[in-house]
Chains A and B, each alone.
Chain A
Amino acid sequence: MTIPLSGSREARPFPLRRLAAWAAARDLAAFIVPGPDVARTCGIDLDAAGVRVAQTPRHAGVLVLVGELPRGLKKAAAVAYAQMPRPRAILAVGAGDVSPLPEPDVWVTASQRELAAGVEELRRLFAEGAFATEAAGFDIEEIRMETEYVCPMHPEVTSDEPGSCPKCGMDLIPRESAGGAGHEGHDDAGHGDTDHDASDPGVLVSHEGHGSNDEMDYQDMGHEGGGEDSGGHEHAERGEHEGHDEMDHGGHEDMGFMSMVEMTQGTPRSSDGLQMEWTGAPFGPLFPGLPGGLSLTFTLDGDTVANVTAPRGALGWDLDGLETAPARDFPDLLALLDPLSPTAYRLLALQALEDAANTVADERTTLERVGALERERAASHLGWFSGFGRLLGYSWLEARAGQIQLALLRAADAEEVARQETEVGKLVRRVYRTPMLARRLKGLGTLPDTAETSGPVARAAGLAKDARSGGIYRTLDFEPVVREGNDAVARLWTRLAEVEQSLKLVRKAGAVCFPQGMLTSPLRSTGSATVETPRGAATLRVKLQGDVVSATELTTPSSLHHQFIGAVAEEREVADALLGVASLDLSPWGVAR
C-alpha cells in the first residue's frame, strides 16, 4: 500500500511516474524555515545529509522546520509550503507542534545522525508516495486571501462589497490582498507599528501611478509620437489586468486633459528627478540572504529602495512564561529566547540571578563560562559570514564558514576548538585577500554618527564599547577589537578579528562546555547583569519574589539596531540595501520583545 506524502500528486502510479518519483527521491531540495542560520546553530548540516538547500520554496520539495517556531513564522511557513510545487513533504527537526501546517512526514531531533536517518526515510516516502491515488489538499485559514474593493484614485477608501467611492463616485475595483488570520500590516495600506517614518505619499503613488499611466494611454502628452515611450511595451499586457478596464473608463471621463507636469505634481520624486511607479516587495521573513524571521518590506522604485517597512514583533514570539518562572528554570527559559545565541542568554540569566543572590561564581566556573561564551561568539560570527557570503554571491565563503561553524559547535572540548584555529586563520586571510570585496562593501550600511549602537556594529565605528572589559577578561589580556569606518566592510573586518580573538580566549580558558550553575536562595529582590552577546551588549533586570521571578526587563542589541534598518536601506539599490541590513547582524528573536 502506498503511503502518501503530505503533499503528493494525485495520479495513479504508472511506470513513468514511478521513475519520476524515484528521481525525486534521489534529488531532494529543501527550503529551511526559519533559515539556514538557525539550522547550522542547531548543529545540522543538510548538505552533508545529501539534501540541497533551495533559495525559494518553488525550487524545493521538502520544507524543513527547525526548532520551536513562533506563531508568525508558522504562518510564513504555511505560505511557503503552499507555494511549493507537488510532490512536497515536511521534515520537522526538533520542532514542537507545527499546526496549522499538516503533520510532518518525518520527525527528527536536532542531531546529524538522526537527520541522516530522517532523510533516508524521506527518500523512501518520496519514492513510494510522490504519486498517490488520493492526495490531501492544503487549505488553511492562514493562507486565505481577501478580496476587497478599492477606489483607484483614493486607495484609502476600501469596502468589502462592490459599490462606488464616496469621494469621487468612481466604481470600486476588486483587489486581492493577503488577508487571513493574524495578518500584520501589509505594506500598501498599513505600516504595522514601525519605528520608521514611512512617508505615505510614497506608497500611494503605486496606485495613482496606475491611474495616471492609463491616462497617458489615451491622451497624447505632447511627447513625440506618444506610442513609443511607454505606450508600446507594457500596456498591451496591462489590458488583461484586473480592474484596469474599469479604471480606464472611470478616470478617462472625469479627468479631461492633464499634462505630465500636472499629473505628477506633489508626488515624491526619485533622486534623479523622474517620477516612476513604485511597487512593494516583501524581503522577509524567509528571505535567503537575511536572518531567518526578519520581517521586511521594501517599496521599490525600480531597483532602488524608496521606503522600508520593518514591523517589530512580527514573529509573534510569546515570552509570557518568563514572568512567573521559578528561578532555577529561568536560565533555560531565557536561553530559548534566541536560538542563535542560547549560551549568552543563559549566562545573562545566571549572572542576573547571582547578582540577586549577591554571590559571585568562583574563578574556575567563570573561566568555563568565558570559554563557552567565546566559542559561541566565534560560531555566531562564522554563521554570519556564511549568510553574508550567500548574500554577496561569494559561494566559497558561504560554504567554508558554514563548515567551520558546524565543526566549532560540535567540538567537545577546547582541544578540538584549538584545532579549528588554523582553519579560521586561513579563512580570515583568504577573505582579506578577496579581490573586489572591500570595494563592493565600502560605504554600505553607514549609520549616522549619533546612532546608539552596541557590539561589533559600535566597535566598527571606532567606539571601544565592550561589556567584556574588567574582571576575568582583564586577566586574559582582552582588548576590544576596534575599527574605523562605520560601514559594512568595517563590520566585516571587526567580526573577522573577533573570531580569531575569541578562539584565542577559548584556548586560554581551556574549556568550552557551559558549567551548570548552582543557585543559592536569593537574598535580594532585584538583580541585573550585562553580557556581551555576539551581537552586542544585552542587559537583564529581574525582580524576584522569593524563589519565583516576578518581572523581567531585557534589552537586546538587536532591538537597538532594528530601528536603523530604514537608515541603512533607504535610497539604495536593493542589493546594497540588503547588504547593509545584513551587516547589522540582527537577530529577529531579539527584536520580538
Chain B
Amino acid sequence: MSLLQQYALLLGMVAATVGLVLSLGAVARAVGRRREEKVKDVPATAGELSPEPVWVRYHVRYYGYALLFLAFDMEMAFMYPWAVVYKELGLTALLDMGVFLMVLFLGLLYGWSQGALRRQ
C-alpha cells in the first residue's frame, strides 16, 4: 500500500470510530431523551450544590517540569531517525548522540540543582 493509501485507511478508521460513537448516541436517543429537571445539571459535588463556574486560570505547580519537558521533547524528535540508522553508522553515531544527550542531561542536572524539579 502506498503511503497515501495507508493514511487514507487510517482516516477512514477515525471516521468509522466517530460514526460508531454517533450511532451509539442515536440509539441512546431512541431509547429516551433526558428529562430536564432542577439541579440535575449542576456538577455533582458531594451533596452540596456548587453552581459557580470553575473555569479559572488553574494554578499548576509543575511548570518547572513542563519547561524541561519541552527541551527533551525536541531532543526525542531527533532521536527517532538517529535510532533507525544507528547500526549502520556505528561508533560515530553513538558518540555524536552521546554528546547531545550529555548536554541535555547536564541541563537536567542544572535544573534539578536550581529547584525546578519539585512541586512549586
Shortest CB-to-CB span from A312 to chain B, Å, is 15
Docked CA distance A11–B56 (Å):
40
Docked CA distance A79–B38 (Å):
10
Contact B49 A272 (CB under 8 A): no
Which B residues between 18 and 57 are near A, CB-CB below 8 angstroms? 27, 30-32, 34-35, 37-40, 42, 44-57
Per-position 1/0 for A252-273, Cβ under 8 A of B: 0000000000000000001010
| Interface pick from A80-88, A535-543, A555-563 | A80-88
Docked CA distance A284–B45 (Å):
8
Residue of A nearest to B59 (CB): A302
Known A82-B38, A139-B37; further 18 A-B contacts with Cβ < 8 A: A11-B32, A33-B47, A79-B39, A79-B47, A83-B44, A135-B35, A143-B39, A145-B38, A145-B39, A276-B57, A276-B58, A279-B56, A280-B52, A282-B45, A285-B47, A295-B48, A302-B61, A304-B61
Docked CA distance A230–B30 (Å):
41
Which of B32, B40, B45, B53 meets A17, CB within 8 Å?
B32
Is B120 in the interface zone, CB < 8 Å from A? yes
Is A237 in the interface zone, CB < 8 Å from B? yes
- On whether A137 and B37 interact (CB within 8 A), knowing A11-B31, A17-B31, A83-B42, the answer reads yes
Which A residues between 132 and 148 are near B, CB-CB below 8 angstroms? 135, 137-139, 143-145
Shortest CB-to-CB span from B84 to chain A, Å, is 34
Contact A9 B35 (CB under 8 A): yes
Contact A284 B55 (CB under 8 A): no
Is B1 in the interface zone, CB < 8 Å from A? no
Shortest CB-to-CB span from B50 to chain A, Å, is 5
Residues of chain B contacted by A85 (CB below 8 angstroms): 34, 40
Is A287 in the interface zone, CB < 8 Å from B? yes
Residue of B nearest to A210 (CB): B56
Contact B58 A178 (CB under 8 A): no
In the assembled complex, 9 residue pairs joining A and B whose CB atoms fall closer than 8 Å, in A order, are A33-B47, A77-B47, A86-B34, A145-B49, A177-B51, A206-B52, A238-B55, A241-B55, A278-B56
Shortest CB-to-CB span from B10 to chain A, Å, is 28
Contact A302 B60 (CB under 8 A): yes
Interfacial residues, chain B to chain A (CB-CB below 8 A): 27, 30-32, 34-35, 37-40, 42, 44-61, 119-120
Docked CA distance A85–B47 (Å):
15
Is A188 in the interface zone, CB < 8 Å from B? yes
Residues of chain A contacted by B61 (CB below 8 angstroms): 272, 302-304
Shortest CB-to-CB span from A27 to chain B, Å, is 15
Is A158 in the interface zone, CB < 8 Å from B? no
Which of B50, B51, B58, B120 meets A272, CB within 8 Å?
B120
Contact A144 B50 (CB under 8 A): no
Residue of A nearest to B28 (CB): A20
Residues of chain B contacted by A77 (CB below 8 angstroms): 47
Residues of chain A contacted by B55 (CB below 8 angstroms): 234, 237-238, 241
Is A1 in the interface zone, CB < 8 Å from B? no
Contact B48 A282 (CB under 8 A): yes
Contact A279 B54 (CB under 8 A): yes
Is A518 in the interface zone, CB < 8 Å from B? no
Residues of chain A contacted by B48 (CB below 8 angstroms): 76, 79, 178, 282, 284-285, 295, 297
Most chain B CB inside 10 Å of its own CB: which residue of A10, A58, A277: A277
Most chain A CB inside 10 Å of its own CB: which residue of B31, B54, B57: B57
Contact B44 A282 (CB under 8 A): no
Docked CA distance A20–B31 (Å):
9
Contact B37 A79 (CB under 8 A): no
- On whether A285 and B46 interact (CB within 8 A), knowing A20-B31, A279-B54, A303-B61, the answer reads yes
Contact A56 B44 (CB under 8 A): yes
Contact A82 B31 (CB under 8 A): no
Shortest CB-to-CB span from B57 to chain A, Å, is 5
Residues of chain B contacted by A33 (CB below 8 angstroms): 47
- On whether A280 and B40 interact (CB within 8 A), knowing A131-B32, A230-B57, A234-B55, the answer reads no
Shortest CB-to-CB span from A539 to chain B, Å, is 31
Residue of A nearest to B56 (CB): A277
User: Would you list the 3 A-B pairs with minimal beta carbon distance, nearest first?
Assistant: A302-B59, A76-B47, A178-B49
